[in-house]
Structure 1
Amino acid sequence: MNFKVVEKFISVNGEGSRSGQLSVFIRFAGCNLSCNYCDTKWANERNVKYDIMTENEIYNYIKATGITNVTLTGGEPLIQNDILSLLKLLSSDNNLLVEIETNGSVNIKDFLLDKNPPCFTMDYKLPDSGMEDYMCISNFNYLTKKDTVKFVVSSVNDLKKAKEIIDKYELIKKTNIYLSPVLGRIYPKAIVDFMKENKLNKVNLQLQIHKIIWSPNKRGV
Structure 2
Amino acid sequence: MNYKVVEKFVSVNGEGRLSGQLAIFIRFAGCNLDCSYCDTRWANEENVEYTLMNEQEIYEYIQSTGVKNITLTGGEPLLQVGLIELLNVLSKDEDLLVEIETNGSVSLKEFIDITNAPRFVMDYKLPSSDMEEKMLVDNLKYLTKKDTIKFVAGTTEDLERAKYLIDEYNLINKTNVYISPVFGKIEMAEIVEFMHKYTMNGVTLQVQLHKIIWDPEERGV
Decide whether the 8 Å contact of 2:68 with 2:96 is kept in 1: yes
Give distance in 1, aligned partners of 2:54 and 2:114: 23
Amino acid at match of 2:181: P
Q: Does 1:210 align with 2:216?
A: no
* SS at 2:98 equivalent: strand
- Where does residue 35 of structure 2 map in the other structure? 35
Give distance in 2, aligned partners of 1:178 and 1:212: 18
Q: Percent identity?
A: 62
Report the alpha carbon displacement of residue 113 of structure 1 after superposing the two structures with TM.
3.2
Cα deviation 1:18-73 (Å, max 9, x = unaligned): 11110000000000000010000000001111111111100100011000000000
Normalising by the residue count of structure 1, what TM-score does the alignment of the two structures yield? 0.99
Q: Structure 2: which 5+ residue stretches go unaligned?
A: none
* SS at 1:218 equivalent: coil
Normalising by the residue count of structure 2, what TM-score does the alignment of the two structures yield? 0.99
- Where does residue 86 of structure 2 map in the other structure? 86
- Where does residue 3 of structure 2 map in the other structure? 3
Q: Structure 1: which 5+ residue stretches go unaligned?
A: none
Decide whether the 8 Å contact of 1:11 with 1:25 is kept in 2: yes
Decide whether the 8 Å contact of 1:27 with 1:73 is kept in 2: yes
- Where does residue 156 of structure 1 map in the other structure? 156
Cα deviation 1:192-212 (Å, max 9, x = unaligned): 000000000000000000000
Give distance in 2, aligned partners of 1:113 and 1:40: 29
Question: Would you say how many aligned residue pairs link Structure 1 and Structure 2?
Answer: 221
Q: Does 1:109 align with 2:120?
A: no
- Where does residue 45 of structure 1 map in the other structure? 45
Give distance in 2, aligned partners of 1:163 and 1:33: 23
- Where does residue 188 of structure 1 map in the other structure? 188
Amino acid at match of 2:100: I
- Where does residue 136 of structure 1 map in the other structure? 136
Report the alpha carbon displacement of residue 184 of structure 1 after superposing the two structures with TM.
1.0
Decide whether the 8 Å contact of 2:104 with 2:122 is kept in 1: yes
- Where does residue 64 of structure 1 map in the other structure? 64
Amino acid at match of 1:36: S
Runs of 4+ more than 2 Å apart = none
Decide whether the 8 Å contact of 1:35 with 1:131 is kept in 2: yes
Amino acid at match of 1:181: P
Decide whether the 8 Å contact of 2:12 with 2:22 is kept in 1: yes
Cα deviation 1:70-122 (Å, max 9, x = unaligned): 00000000000101110111111101100000000011010013421100000
